[in-house]
């Protein structure tokens, strides 16, 4: 909720999903207008890494910015996410300045 509020404050139109499968459905329904996906590594039904791999397997989503936000702090997890196509990796806990910095690094306006 805090993350959504922070994004709305800077003008983003936010959609939410409870797990990776729901996120895939949201992306499929709105892929023409979608520019950013923030995903947690640890989600039920389909984790964030699986979601990321599904997104990156779709050529229509090649320019979609995907940022992994997670409690997974091991370097192997970060490397795996970045190798799978994540644009950025944010470790929890974080504040909105870090989020906005990562959005900027990924080429998005803040």
Query: What is the structure's pLDDT at 62?
Result: 86
The pLDDT tens digits of the residues spanning 9-31 come to 999 999 999 999 999 999 999 99
Paired tokens of 39: 């995903």
User: Contact, 22 vs 43, CB < 8 A?
Assistant: no
CATH of the structural domain 2-105, one choice from 3.40.50.2300, 2.60.40.650, 3.40.50.410, 3.40.50.10420: 3.40.50.2300
Q: Where are the domains of the chain?
A: 2-105
Burial class of residue 69, CB neighbours in 10 A (0-12, 13-18, 19+): buried
Closest CA to 35 of 74, 87, 81: 87
**First-to-last CA distance in the chain?**
18
62 neighbors 93 (Cβ within 8 angstroms): no
pLDDT, tens digit (0-9, with 9 covering 90-100), for 65-95? 999 999 988 999 999 999 999 999 999 989 9
Give the separation between CA 30 and CA 81, rounded to whole angstroms: 23
Q: Are 42 and 91 in contact (CB under 8 A)?
A: no
Q: What is the pLDDT of residue 109?
A: 81
Query: Scanning the structure block, which residue is given the tokens 């080429």?
Result: 107
pTM: 0.92
Q: What is the pLDDT of residues 30-57, one digit of tens each?
A: 998 999 999 999 999 999 999 999 999 9
């Amino acid at each position: 909720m805090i993350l959504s509020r922070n994004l709305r404050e800077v003008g983003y139109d936010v959609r939410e999903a409870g797990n990776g499968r729901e996120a895939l459905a949201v992306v499929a329904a709105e892929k023409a207008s979608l520019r950013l996906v923030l995903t947690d590594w640890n989600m039920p039904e389909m984790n964030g890494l699986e979601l990321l791999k599904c997104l990156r397997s779709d050529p229509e989503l090649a320019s979609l910015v995907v940022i992994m936000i997670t409690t997974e702090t091991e370097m192997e997890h970060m490397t795996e996410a970045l190798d799978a196509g994540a644009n950025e990796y944010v470790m929890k806990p974080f504040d909105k300045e870090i989020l906005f910095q990562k959005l900027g690094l990924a080429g998005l306006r803040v």
